Amino acid sequence: MQEYPIKRGLTKDLETRAIAELKNCFGVAPEKTGKGYRIAFGALKRLDVIIGAGGKTVTIDTESDLGATDVVIIDTNKRFRKFLDAVTGFSTKERVKRAKSVAEG
């Protein structure tokens, strides 16, 4: 389970955007769960998206399909990174930089 901060200015419509980006990036309509939204796609048996308090964070919980082929894993990983970029507003490089500064501080 990993929590990601949302870029300032993108918090207002976070839930709507998260649903739209799940459909856009994975081509699968998410199902509503008690806490958030869930899909299954490619190398992911389960991908849960939970909107944090005040819409300032998003928590992602995944379960991998260990029997997936390398091609499927690479495609799923690419789509997952694209989803995170769109929802958080931060690129992969920016997310890593922010995670390092939080871990050090």
Domain range annotation of the chain? 2-98
Written as one letter, the residue type at 55 is G
The CATH class given to the 2-98 domain equals alpha beta
Q: What is the DSSP string of 33-82?
A: -SSSEEEEETTEEEEEEEEPGGGSEEEEEEEE-TT--HHHHHHHHHHHHH
Cβ neighbours, 10 Å, residue 80: 19
| Residue 102 confidence (pLDDT) | 76
pLDDT digits (tens, 9 = 90+) for 5-22: 999 998 889 999 999 999
**Tens digit of each residue's pLDDT (9 = 90 or more) over 20-54:** 999 999 999 999 999 899 999 999 999 999 999 88
Each residue's pLDDT tens digit, 42-91: 999 999 999 998 889 999 999 999 999 999 999 999 999 999 999 999 99
User: What does the mean pLDDT of the chain come to?
Assistant: 92
